[in-house]
């Protein structure tokens, strides 16, 4: 679900970044994870450290994720054959979009590949984007992440970093498009962690080309990717693209990639389905990240009829023209009645125009078509809450959270639903978890303390509240030293 803010746009699943100084955050997470692993209670741990980390920044700062069910589904379709060829489960490795226009991609654990939306929009062919995904998948499959975690554990400049990443890796799922949570980190530690050696890069290139070939994807995208950065080694580090700084390139690597591709022959032609999914992902991203006037000027070049209507509908919606957006969406849904993600988009448009009942209906249709999509379920729950049915909303939201624990927007909605159904202890708990998820432990603590005083002692919910409370208390002790 996406929302517009005047002339600018952001996904409604993106919160303002939270920042915690690295020297204080990482020891806190280290002690928290040790205790939680020891007690076997990963639910609370996952809440506290469901974090995403920014690569290659000049100073400590945080990132935000752009989360959208349709976009992530399209990226999964592009990545699926590559992940399978790499021996990775497409259901367990998520492709997450970072709210950054730069050209970059990275991995920090075995559960997700992070790709800047700028890289997606600048990919000229499906093969180029798939080469990026294959390269990052190779870092996972070849064990590079595990070795770097081990190296970072022994580095005094990144105390606790490896443990925090280990806890992040243990957390399943990825959070709804709005839950882009971020903790600030020491940029030197993160740069060191994300910096690949040339040996790792060459190994990842070889593996990536092998995956692409095995999946029937033309590996020429790898050469196209390298050519973009061919001249960047002569630039100062500050002037280089972030992808270049975290993925060192050399003429030898370029020549090796060219040789690998040449040995593979002419390669397969572009898969029409891959071309469609790239166009769909790029179309929705551009419709929400660029001005509606830009979309309308360029939509005539869109080769897919459904994507053209989708982009025009979004442009009209962002210009507060419900009538024209509705006309486009009705035609779109008539042509694609079984497309859950178009029903979700229609639900969003209705919701943001305060048509609560109609939004519930649209989201319910989307949920029927995609019953295991947590982002759609979360949207349905929010609409049910707005329509005055908090009990039904809670049922839906609980199902969404069981599939996706890192959704801060969902937690906010759940706290309202619990309050409306007089479940004050649960309302306090999910509020505490929401603040902890965003890195605001000073706000999480009082709500966690309240929850522990109301919830049945020893219950799973009480233990979750205890996990947040312990993290808060340890953080307070460090502040007072």
Q: Highest mean pLDDT: which of 27-31, 156-160, 444-448?
A: 444-448
Higher pLDDT, 477 or 61: 477
Segment among 38-42, 111-115, 142-146, 463-467 with least mean pLDDT: 38-42
For residues 70 and 314, the answer to whether their CB atoms sit within 8 Å is no
State the first-to-last Cα distance of the chain, in angstroms, to the nearest integer. 43
pLDDT at 115 over 60: yes
Q: Which residue has the tokens 């971020």?
A: 182
User: Cα 157 to chain center, whole Å?
Assistant: 27
Is residue 5 very low, low, confident or very high in pLDDT (cuts 50, 70, 90)? very low
pLDDT of residue 13: 34
pLDDT at 463: 93
The continuous run of DSSP H or E covering 294 comes out as helix 292-298
Token pair belonging to 245: 């700084």
Q: What is the mean pLDDT of residues 57-71?
A: 64
Q: How far apart are CA 253 and CA 14, in angstroms?
A: 37
- Residue 232: which residues within 8 A CB-CB, separation 6 or more? 240, 241, 244, 249
- Per-residue pLDDT, averaged over 436-461, amounts to 92
Query: Which whole number is the average pLDDT over 447-463?
Result: 96
Tokens representing residue 460 in the block: 């799973």
Q: Report the Cα 377 to chain-centroid distance in Å.
A: 17
Q: What is the average pLDDT across 207-224?
A: 88
Extract the tokens encoding 450. Answer: 């309240």
Name the CA radius of gyration of the chain, rounded.
23
**Sequence-separated (6 or more) residues with CB below 8 Å from residue 9:** 2, 3, 288, 289, 318
Helix 340-352 vs helix 322-335: crossing angle, to nearest 10: 160
Residue of 347, 354, 339 lying closest to 378 (CA atoms): 347
Q: Which of 113, 133, 136, 109 is nearest to 49 (CA)?
A: 109
In Å, how far are 42, 166, 370, 408 from 49, measured between CA atoms? Answer: 10, 10, 28, 12
Considering the entire predicted model, what is its pTM?
Answer: 0.76
pLDDT score at 319: 96
- pLDDT (tens digit per residue) in 225-257: 777 766 555 444 444 455 544 555 556 677 777
Q: Which of 56, 200, 58 is nearest to 135 (CA)?
A: 200
Q: For residues 139-154, give the mean pLDDT.
A: 63
Place of tokens 């005047």: 6
Whole-Å CA distances, 136 to 94, 140, 249, 425, 436: 12, 7, 15, 42, 29
Q: What are phi and psi of 105, to 5 degrees?
A: -155, 150
Give the C-alpha separation, 435 to 420, whole Å: 20
- The pairing of strands 112-116 and 94-98 is parallel
pLDDT at 341 over 60: yes
- In angstroms, the CA 233 to CA 253 distance is 12
Place of tokens 């939270």: 18
Residues in Cβ contact with 196 at an 8 Å cutoff, skipping those fewer than 6 apart: 139, 144, 204, 246, 247, 248
**For residue 89, what is the DSSP state?**
-
Task: Report how far residue 45's alpha carbon sits from residue 43's, in angstroms, rounded to the nearest whole number.
Answer: 5
**CA 153/CA 222 separation, integer angstroms:** 32
Percent of the chain with pLDDT over 90: 48
């Amino acid at each position: 679900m996406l929302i517009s803010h005047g002339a600018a746009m952001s996904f409604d699943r993106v919160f303002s970044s939270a920042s915690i100084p690295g020297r204080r955050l990482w020891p806190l997470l280290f002690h928290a994870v040790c205790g939680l692993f020891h007690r076997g209670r990963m639910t609370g741990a996952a809440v506290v450290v469901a974090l995403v980390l920014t690569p290659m920044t000049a100073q400590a700062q945080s990132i935000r994720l752009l989360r959208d069910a349709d976009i992530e589904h399209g990226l999964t379709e592009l990545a699926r054959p590559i992940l399978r060829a790499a021996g990775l489960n497409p259901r367990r490795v998520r492709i997450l979009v970072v709210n950054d226009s730069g050209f970059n991609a990275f991995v920090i654990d075995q559960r997700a590949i992070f790709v800047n939306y700028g890289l997606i929009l600048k990919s000229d062919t499906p093969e180029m984007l798939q080469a990026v995904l294959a390269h990052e998948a190779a870092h996972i499959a070849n064990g590079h992440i595990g070795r770097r975690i081990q190296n970072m554990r022994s580095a005094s400049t990144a105390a606790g970093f490896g443990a925090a990443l280990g806890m992040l890796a243990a957390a399943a799922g990825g959070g709804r498009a709005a839950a882009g949570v971020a903790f600030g980190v020491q940029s030197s530690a993160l740069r060191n962690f994300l910096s690949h050696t040339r040996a790792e890069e060459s190994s990842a290139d070889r593996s990536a080309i092998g995956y692409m070939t095995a999946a029937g994807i033309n590996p020429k995208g790898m050469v196209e990717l390298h050519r973009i950065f061919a001249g960047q080694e002569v630039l100062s580090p500050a002037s280089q693209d972030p992808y270049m700084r975290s993925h060192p390139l050399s003429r030898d690597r370029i020549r090796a990639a060219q040789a690998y591709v040449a040995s593979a022959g002419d390669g397969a032609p572009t898969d029409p389905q891959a071309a469609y999914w790239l166009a769909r992902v790029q179309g929705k991203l551009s419709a929400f990240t660029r001005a509606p006037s830009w979309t309308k000027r360029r939509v005539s070049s869109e080769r897919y009829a459904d994507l053209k209507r989708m982009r025009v509908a979004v442009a009209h919606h962002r210009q507060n023209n419900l009538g024209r957006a509705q006309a486009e969406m009705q035609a779109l849904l008539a042509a694609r009645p079984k497309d859950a993600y178009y029903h979700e988009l229609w639900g969003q448009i209705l919701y943001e125009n305060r048509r609560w009942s109609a939004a519930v209906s649209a989201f319910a249709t989307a949920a029927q078509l995609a019953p295991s999509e947590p982002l759609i379920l979360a949207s349905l729950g929010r609409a049910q809450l707005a329509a005055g049915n908090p009990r039904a909303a809670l049922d839906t939201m609980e199902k969404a959270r069981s599939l996706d624990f890192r959704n801060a927007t969902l937690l906010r909605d759940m706290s309202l639903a619990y309050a409306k159904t007089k479940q004050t202890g649960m309302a306090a708990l999910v509020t505490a978890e929401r603040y902890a998820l965003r890195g605001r432990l000073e706000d999480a603590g009082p709500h966690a303390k309240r929850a522990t005083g109301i919830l049945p002692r020893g219950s799973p919910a009480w233990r979750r509240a205890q996990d947040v409370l312990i993290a808060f208390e340890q953080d307070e002790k460090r502040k007072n030293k």
